[in-house]
Chain A
Amino acid sequence: MRVSLNWLHELLPGLPLQKYSLAEFTSRLDLTGTGVEGVISSGQALGGVMVGQVLVRDKHPNADSLWLCQVDVGGAEPLQIVCGAQNFKAGDKVPVATVGATLPGGVTIKKSKLRGEVSCGMNCSARELGVGEDHDGILILPEDAPVGAPFAQYYGLADTILDLEITPNRPDCLSMRGIAREFGAIFETEPAPLPQPELHESGAPVAQAATVTIDEPELCPRYTARVIRNVKIGPSPAWLAARVEAAGARSIDNVVDITNLVMFETGQPLHAFDLDTITRDNEGRAAVIIRRAHDGEHVTTLDGQDRALITSNLLITDPAGPITLAGVMGAEHTEITEATTNIFLEAAVFDPETTSRTSRRLGLLSEASMRYERGVDRCYTPAALDRAAALMAEIAGGEVAPGIIDVYPGPYVAPRLTLRHERLTTLVGEEIPFDFCVESLGRLGLQPEPDPATRTIAVAIPAFRPDLEREVDLIEEVLRLWGMERITATLPGAQAHAGGLTRNQELERRIGEILRASGCNETMTVPFGDPADYAAFSREASTEAPFVELHNPMSSEQSILRESLLPNLLHSVAHNLAHGVSNVQLYEIGSVFRTAPGRKLPREQKRGCVVLTGAWHDARWNDPAVPLDFFDAKGIYENLIAALHIERAQFKPPATDDAYPWLQPGRAAEIRLGGNVVGVIGELHPSLLERFEIATPTTIFDFELDKFIKAAHDQLVLTAPSRYPSIMFDLALIVDASTTAESLTQRITSLGKKTPLASVELFDVYTGKGIDPGSKSLAFHLLYADPERTLSTEEVEAQHSRLVQTLLTQTGARLR
Chain B
Amino acid sequence: MTITDELQELYEQGLAAFKDATDPASLEAARVAWLGKKSALTSTLRGLGQLAADMRATVGQHANEVRGQLEEAYQQRKAALADAALAAKIQSGRLDVSLPGRSRPIGTQHLINAIADEVSEIFFGLGYRLAQGPEVEDDFHNFTALNHSPMHPARSASDTFYVRDLSEEAATFDGPEPSEVLMRTHTSPVQIRTMQASKPPIYIISPGKVYRRDIADPTHLPQFTQMEGLAVDEHLTFADLKGTLDYVVKKIFGEERSTRFRPHFFPFTEPSAEVDVSCEICHGAGCRFCKGTGWIEILGCGMVDPNVLVNVGIDPERYQGFAFGMGVERIAALRYDLPDIRLLIEGDMRFLRQF
- Measuring CB to CB, which residues of chain A are less than 8 angstroms from any residue of chain B? 23, 30-33, 35, 167-170, 352-353, 356-357, 360-361, 373, 426-430, 470, 472-473, 475-476, 479-480, 484-485, 487-492, 494-502, 505, 509, 512, 515-528, 546, 548-554, 558, 561, 569, 571-573, 575-576, 579, 581, 583-587, 590-591, 593, 595-602, 604, 616-617, 620-623
Provide a sorted-by-A list of 7 A–B residue pairs whose CB atoms are within 8 angstroms.
A33-B262, A497-B129, A527-B183, A551-B178, A554-B222, A593-B135, A600-B165
Q: Could you give, for residues 50-70 of chain B, a 1 whenever the CB lies within 8 Å of some chain A CB and a 0 otherwise?
A: 000000000000000000000
- In the bound complex, what is the Cα–Cα distance between A339 and B103 (angstroms)? 85
Contact among A352, A428, A515 for B239, CB-based, below 8 A: A428
B347 near A572: Cβ-Cβ < 8 Å: yes
Within B132-191, the residues touching A (CB, 8 Å) are 134-138, 149-153, 156-158, 161-170, 176, 178-181, 183
Q: Which of B179, B246, B247, B274 contacts A551 (CB 8 A)?
A: B179
Asked if B345 and A575 sit within 8 Å, CB to CB, the answer is no
Count A-B contacts at CB 8 Å. 278
* B260 neighbours in A (Cβ, 8 Å): 31, 485
Cβ-neighbour of A33 out of B176, B247, B264 (below 8 A): B264
Q: Determine the distance from Cα of A581 to Cα of B179 in the docked complex, in whole angstroms.
A: 42
Surface stretch bound by A, among B4-12, B15-23, B75-83, B106-114: B106-114
Q: A427-B320, A491-B240, A491-B244 are in contact. Are A552 and B286 (CB under 8 A)?
A: no
In the bound complex, do residue A591 and residue B135 qualify as a contact, i.e. CB atoms below 8 Å apart? Answer: yes
B209 interface residue (CB < 8 Å to A): yes
> Given A499-B124, A524-B345, do A597 and B166 touch, yes or no (CB 8 Å)?
yes
Contacts of A591 in B (CB 8 A): 134-135
Q: Once bound together, how far apart are the Cα atoms of A558 and B305, in whole Å?
A: 36
CA distance A546 to B164 in the complex (A): 10
Range of interface residues on B (Cβ < 8 Å): 35 or more
Contacts of A168 in B (CB 8 A): 152-153, 265
17 extra interface residue pairs, beta carbon distance < 8 Å, beyond A33-B262, A472-B305 = A353-B151, A360-B156, A427-B237, A430-B239, A491-B126, A522-B110, A526-B345, A527-B223, A550-B164, A551-B162, A572-B347, A572-B348, A573-B347, A581-B349, A591-B134, A598-B167, A600-B170
Q: Give the complex CA separation of A597 and B166 in angstroms.
A: 5
Contact with A along B250-277 (1 / 0, CB 8 A): 0000000000111111000011111000
B288: A residues at CB distance < 8 A = none
| Cross-interface CB contact of B105 among A519, A528, A596, cutoff 8 Å | A519
Complex: how many Å from CA A490 to CA B215?
41
B residues less than 8 Å from A472 (CB atoms): 270-271, 303, 305-306
* B residues in contact with A616, CB < 8 Å: 104-105
Contact check: which of A576, A602, A620 meets B163 at CB < 8 Å?
Answer: A602
A554-B213, A600-B181 as given contacts; A488 in contact with B239, CB under 8 Å: yes
Q: Mark B234-248, 1 if CB is under 8 A from A, else 0.
A: 011111101110110
The listed residue (B107, B213, B265) touching A167 by CB distance below 8 A is B265
Instruction: Report A151 CB to chain B, min CB distance, Å.
Output: 28
User: How many angstroms from the CA of A496 to the CA of B233 in the assembled complex?
Assistant: 10
Q: Mark B312-351, 1 if CB is under 8 A from A, else 0.
A: 0000000010000000000000000000000011111110
Q: Which residues of A contact B130 (CB under 8 A)?
A: 500-502, 505
Contact A622 B166 (CB under 8 A): no
Closest approach, in angstroms, between the C-beta of B118 and any C-beta of chain A? 12
The residues of B that contact A479 with a CB separation of less than 8 Å are: 238, 263, 271
CA distance A484 to B246 in the complex (A): 13
Q: Please, which residue of chain A has its CB at the minimum distance from the CB of B238?
A: A428
Nearest to A620 among chain B residues (CB) is B100
Residue in B closest to A492 when the chains form the complex, CB atoms = B240
Q: Please give the distance in Å from B182's CB to the nearest CB on chain A.
A: 9
Nearest A residue to B156, CB-CB: A360
Return chain B residues, CB-CB under 8 Å to A602. 136, 163
Interface pair B246/A521, CB less than 8 Å apart = no
Does B223 lie within 8 Å of A517, measured CB to CB? Answer: no
- The answer to whether A429 touches B347, judged by C-beta atoms less than 8 angstroms apart, is no
Q: Is the CB of A561 within 8 A of B151?
A: no
Name B96's closest neighbour in chain A (CB-CB). A621
Q: Check if A523 sits within 8 Å of B352, measured CB to CB.
A: yes
CB of B203 within 8 Å of the partner chain? yes
Q: Which residue of the partner chain B has the closest CB to A477?
A: B271
* Residues from chain B with Cβ under 8 Å of A620 in the complex: 100, 102
A548 and B134 alpha carbons, distance in the complex (Å): 14
The CA-CA distance from A518 to B105 in the complex, in Å, is 9
Partner of B151, one of A23, A352, A491, A515: A352
> How far apart are B97's CB and chain A's nearest CB, in angstroms?
13
Which of chain B's residues have a CB closer than 8 A to the CB of A502? Answer: 129-130
Given contacts A476-B271, A593-B136, A600-B165, contact A429 B240 (CB under 8 A): yes
How many angstroms from the CA of A91 to the CA of B279 in the assembled complex? 53
Contact residues in A for B178 (Cβ distance below 8 Å) = 551-552
A487 nearest CB neighbor, chain B only: B239
Q: Which DSSP category, helix, strand, loop or mixed, fits chain B's interface?
A: mixed
Residue in chain B with minimal CB distance to A593: B136
Once bound together, how far apart are the Cα atoms of A603 and B22, in whole Å?
Answer: 82
Q: How far, in Å, is A357 (CB) from chain B's closest CB?
A: 5
Whether the Cβ atoms of B263 and A548 lie closer than 8 Å is no
A-side contacts of B109, CB under 8 Å: 512, 516, 522
Q: Are A30 and B347 in contact (CB under 8 A)?
A: no
Tell whether, in the assembled complex, residue A596 and residue B161 are in contact, meaning their CB atoms are under 8 Å apart: no
B153 neighbours in A (Cβ, 8 Å): 168
**Structural contact, B107 and A517, CB atoms closer than 8 A:** yes
Asked if B108 and A522 sit within 8 Å, CB to CB, the answer is: yes
Chain A residues, CB < 8 A from B117: 509
**A32-B263, A168-B153, A550-B161 known; A521+B135 contact, CB < 8 A:** no
Note all chain B residues with C-beta closer than 8 A to A518: 107
Q: Closest 8 interchain pairs by CB?
A: A572-B347, A429-B237, A429-B239, A494-B127, A33-B263, A167-B265, A516-B107, A476-B271
- B201 at the A interface (CB under 8 A): yes
Q: Assuming the A-B contacts A475-B271, A552-B161, are A527 and B262 also in contact, with contact meaning beta carbons closer than 8 angstroms in the complex?
A: no
- B348 / chain A contacts, CB cutoff of 8 Å: 572, 575-576, 579, 581
Which one of A512, A519, A550, A596 has the highest number of Cβ atoms from chain B below 10 Å of its Cβ?
A550
* In the assembled complex, B99 has its CB within 8 A of some CB on chain A: yes
Tell me the nearest residue of chain A to B123, going by C-beta. Answer: A499
A599 to B348, CA, bound (A): 36
Residues of B within 8 A of A601 (CB): 134, 136-138, 181
With A360-B156, A487-B239, A604-B134 already in contact, the answer to whether A499 and B128 are too (CB < 8 A) is yes
Residues of A within 8 A of B123 (CB): 499
- On whether the beta carbons of A23 and B286 are closer than 8 Å, the reply is yes
How close is A559's CB to chain B, nearest CB, in angstroms?
Answer: 10
Please tell me if B125 contacts chain A, counting CB pairs below 8 Å: yes
Q: Knowing A427-B303, A487-B239, A492-B243 are in contact, say whether A519-B104 is a contact too (CB < 8 A).
A: yes
Specify which chain A residues have a CB less than 8 angstroms from the CB of B261 in the assembled complex. Answer: 484-485
Residue of A nearest to B124 (CB): A499
Does B213 lie within 8 Å of A552, measured CB to CB?
yes
Residue contact A586 to B138, C-beta cutoff 8 Å: no
Task: Give bound CA distance, A125 to B223, whole Å.
Answer: 59
How distant is the Cα of A473 from the Cα of B269 in the complex, in angstroms? 10
Query: Using Cβ atoms and an 8 Å threshold, which residues of chain A touch B124?
Result: 499-501
What's the Cα separation between A571 and B342 when bound, in Å? 14
Pairwise interchain contact B108-A516, C-beta atoms closer than 8 A: yes
Which residues of chain B come closer than 8 Å to A515, judged between CB atoms?
Answer: 107
- Tell whether, in the assembled complex, residue B263 and residue A31 are in contact, meaning their CB atoms are under 8 Å apart: yes
State in angstroms the CA–CA spacing of A150 and B344 once bound together.
Answer: 51
> Are B349 and A521 closer than 8 Å at their CB atoms?
yes
A169-B265, A357-B176, A569-B347 given; A551·B203 CB < 8 A: no
User: Once the chains bind, are B243 and A484 in contact (CB under 8 Å)?
Assistant: no
Task: Provide the bound-state CA to CA distance between A551 and B347, in Å.
Answer: 27
Contacting residue for A492 out of B113, B236, B274, B350, CB 8 A: B236
Task: Point out the residues of chain B lying under 8 angstroms from A548, CB to CB.
Answer: 136, 163-164
Closest Cβ–Cβ distance, residue A87 to chain B (whole Å): 45
Alpha-carbon separation in the docked complex, A168 to B267 (Å): 9
**Contact B151–A357 (Cβ < 8 Å):** yes
In chain A, what residue has the closest Cβ to B133? A604
